[in-house]
Structure 1
Amino acid sequence: MESDIKEFVNRIYSNLGHFSKSEKKIVDLMINDPQFVINATISQLAHRANVSEASISRFCKRIDLNGFHHLKVLLAQSSLTSVESQDGDSLDSQDKTLDRLMNDKGNEIRATLEGFDKTMMKSIIQLIKDARLIQIMAEGNTFPVALDACFKFNQIGRLAFTASSWEVAMGQTLNLTDSDVVIVISNSGESRQLIQLVEIAKKNHVKVMALTNNNSSPLAALSDYNVVTASRGTIFMSEYFFSRVSAVTAIEAIFMLLIADNPRLKDKIQRHELLIASKKI
């Protein structure tokens, strides 16, 4: 049941940018007034959200629920019910906004780490340890996470690289072999260019790990491993605002797990830090 609740919350947040207008009205109420939704009949919810009862039924089906009652049960048990009401005037207070931000980011980190499958993580750690080369790719706002991952993995002796140019990245992928690993980082898991890159990698029998918000996304389906990075960005009502926190958290966790697996890797980090220390005051 606990895993069902986590999947439910992740599905809601990971699809915020993809819901229809009617679906978004339903989600607005789920996030901003979950207690009302829990206690409402389907007709009461339809009236307040200004949608049809059929729209609510279709929404439940879209997020893989058995029906409206199933939605209410999961909503009552989920972290959504701990969300305070977000009326428009909540943004008038900087303190409230910062409190909300702290809550959202804390929930993102917690949900991401709690969602780690231990068996899968052991396989990922072994995969990275055995890799000859590690290509790490992301796009747009996610690209800094790829740079951070490259920095961390190279520090501990795993040769990792990325490219800001799509054309260069594809050239790199074409040269990979079954001894290498590709890591793709995408919030939606729907990036056309990253999907193409993964398809080329798979043709070369390269193992692929994805970090996405959506376990049902095209990138997740193509990858050998998908690490779900939770999104809890609801500070501005239910509108979607990109966050890198969960992706950075996942990379940081994998980095720390690699060190825990081989504590001697800390010597490599220390050597690197000493070499770059001359750039510091």
Structure 2
Amino acid sequence: MGKNQSSKIFSPELSCTARIFTLTPHFTQADHAIAGLAINHPQLVATSSARELGRHSDVSEASVIRFVQKLEYESLKDFRDALKKELVNSQTAGNSSVSTQPNTPTEALAQVVALCSQALQMLTTAIDIEELGRAADALEKSTCIHFFAAGGSIRVAQHAAFKLLRLGYPAYAQSEPFSQIAQASIVQSGSVAFGISFTGSTKSVVDALAAAKENGAIVICLTNFAGTQVTELSDIRLITPAPGGILAANSAQTRVAQFAILDALLTLITPRCEYVEK
């Protein structure tokens, strides 16, 4: 990206993490390697030279510099300074792996609300709007919608399936991995296979999506990390921010972002029945 202000897409205040997730669909393999390091090991990245970052990511120094420029930072120092600032803000909000323990119920509630608010704010800039629209179109045109998830994401999948049923769409969300594989084996062309996985590498979800894709289903994924097995299998990729890195898998901010995306999809599609839940 050039230095011309008119060519820039990010406001100066936008965080490193939000910039990374915004550009994730357009990253090269080298970019994904550096981005993964920045998301999961921000303290290391914030204090490393270009040579050290290249060694840790198994990419060249030139790839590191190009990555920084894609994020619209003038230099590696600017990138590291911005990342350090984000780390300080995260620690202040209790969003680090060694967070300040709240002393009162009021502080605990305020901490969780702040984290959820941060996740939703990041979501508005990080999600690929075109992919969101494609996902809504695929759901609306589908003959049947099958959800595949594991762990805490199962509840998110069941919530979406229930809402879709109320709107007149055949939708299913099994909770057991073996039941999901059986469900995937009978998916037919014209259906949608919707995988939800925080890491993008959950084996049961990967296996189910692979089976459904082989049967001709359109595959949609909702995940927090690009360049994973789930995203590689998917025709449509909905990638949400992961403010706390890989350790945030079952956190409130992760779930609120997932629910927000699914509710946005439900808002976009046309009901197939006369009754619409108020």
TM-score, normalised to structure 1, is 0.69
Q: Which has the larger radius of gyration?
A: 1
The structure-2 alpha-carbon separation of the partners of 1:222 and 1:200, relative to structure 1 and needing over 3 Å to count, comes to same
Alpha-carbon distance, 1:189 to partner: 0.2
The alpha-carbon distance between structure 1 residues 113 and 266, as it changes in their structure 2 partners (threshold 3 A), is farther
Distance 1:53 1:125 in 2: 41
* Separation of aligned partners in 2, 1:117 and 1:207: 18
Q: Number of aligned pairs?
A: 239
> Equivalent of 1:253, from 242, 248, 264?
264
**Distance apart, 1:207 and its partner CA:** 0.4
- In structure 2, the residue matched to 1:90 is 100
Retained in 1: the 8 A contact 2:192–2:219? yes
Q: Percent identity?
A: 17
Gaps of 5+ in 1: 31-36, 38-44, 47-51, 274-281
Q: How far apart are 1:76 and its partner, in Å? A: 4.6
- The residue aligned with 1:80 is 86
Structure 1 letter corresponding to 2:192: V
* RMSD over equivalenced CA pairs, Å: 3.8
SS at match of 2:220: strand
Mapped to 2, the partners of 1:227 and 1:90 lie a distance apart of 32
The gaps in structure 2 that reach 5 residues or longer are 1-8, 25-31, 69-73
What is the rounded CA distance, in whole Å, between the counterparts of 2:212 and 2:76 in structure 1? 39
> SS in structure 2 opposite 1:268?
coil
Q: 1:35-68 deviations in whole A, cap 9, x for unaligned?
A: xx5xxxxxxx46xxxxx99654434667x73288
| Residue 115 of structure 1 pairs with residue 153 of structure 2 | no
What is the Cα deviation at residue 80 of structure 1? 2.0
Counterpart check, 1:141 vs 2:152: yes
The aligned counterpart of 1:49 is none
Residue 239 (structure 1) shift: 5.0
* Equivalent position of 1:125 in the other structure: 136
Select between 112-121 and 139-148 the one with higher mean Cα deviation: 112-121
Q: For residues 56-205 of structure 1, what are the structure 2 equivalents within 5 Å? A: 56-59=53-56, 65-66=64-65, 70-76=75-81, 80=86, 82-85=89-92, 90-94=100-104, 95-205=106-216
* Greater share of residues in helix: 1
Letter in 1 for 2:121: R
Q: CA distance change for structure 1 residues 89 and 137 in 2, over 3 Å: closer, same or farther?
A: closer
CA deviations 1:198-240 (Å, max 9, x no partner) are 1111111210000000121110111001101212238xxx954
1:92/1:4 Cα in 2 relative to 1: closer, same or farther (>3 Å)?
A: closer
Change (3 A) 1:89 1:146: closer
Distance verdict in 2 for CA 1:192–1:215, change over 3 Å:
same
CA distance in 1, matches of 2:103, 2:243: 20
Q: Distance in 2 between matches of 1:61 and 1:102?
A: 38
Q: Give the superposition deviation at 1:182.
A: 0.5
Distance 1:65 1:90 in 2: 33
How big is each residue's C-alpha offset from its partner over 1:144-168, in whole Å with a ceiling of 9 and x where there is no partner?
Answer: 0011011111111111001112222
In 2, are the aligned partners of 1:90 and 1:97 still within 8 Å (CA)? Answer: no
